[in-house]
Chains A and B, each alone.
Chain A
């Protein structure tokens, strides 16, 4: 009897906790993500247009250079501490653009500097960026192999 009572109490408590736990503010988060993500992409469009015109590159090559510039910007603004403040508000708006990829490299690298420049900075840089490259490059090679088989 006592035991049954206790399990019931536990269940009630769990329900109570679930009710009290803060629910994510979907609308507010989405609006911030939209605005900040859109703004970063607009900056990217500005870079892309200028690179394409000034250097006379193809679309794919201009994309490559734009990515280079955006990653440089993302790394710099992470370094001076601005990007993480933005990230608290913007959520996915600052994570999903390629500048967030740069942020995910610089943040842990700075954080673990005290563990040394090899095992700290250099090893930790790719904590998050590593999986992105592993899955991105591997899936692209698979797609390439399939394309090769069809193309020939």
Chain B
């Protein structure tokens, strides 16, 4: 059941992205930036958490989920460390993703060359 929920919620979030890309003049980069930022804001006002409860990875794997993790981390940080936590909590909660992006991104770019365009 959790797998079906993840499929549906994740699929729907991607459809929103597709409609933004096809229906407006926004580029994929703009859509990604909008998605991360809205993930942070929606989590802050308490809208995204119920979606995570229902959709699981369907809500945390798409980019708004990255914003969700940032916001949750910041809240946790503020509770534990006060003002400092507002600055350290977000990246702490997303440390795995950010480090993976840097390290795996670099490694794969070194190991592979672009495939010829078909």
Contact = CB atoms under 8 A, between A and B. Distances in A.
Interface of A: 24, 26, 29-30, 33-42, 44-49, 60, 63-72, 75-76, 78-81, 84, 91-93, 95-102, 104-107, 109-111, 113, 117, 121-122, 125, 128-129, 131-133, 135-137, 139-141, 143-148, 151-152
A45 B69 CA distance: 16
Contacts of B112: 79-81, 106, 110
Given A29-B18, A67-B96, A151-B79, A137 B90 contact: yes
Query: Interface majority SS on A: helix, strand, loop or mixed?
Result: helix
Contacts, number: 289
Contacts of B7: 38-39, 41-42
Given A42-B7, A101-B32, A78 B90 contact: no
A101 B63 contact: yes
30 contacts: A33-B15, A33-B18, A37-B10, A37-B15, A41-B10, A42-B10, A44-B60, A64-B95, A68-B96, A68-B97, A71-B104, A91-B18, A92-B21, A92-B28, A96-B62, A98-B62, A98-B63, A101-B32, A106-B112, A111-B114, A113-B113, A117-B110, A125-B105, A135-B36, A137-B70, A139-B36, A144-B78, A146-B44, A147-B74, A147-B86
B2 A49 contact: yes
Nearest to A82: B115
Instruction: Say what secondary structure dominates the interface of chain B.
Output: helix
B91 to A, nearest CB: 6
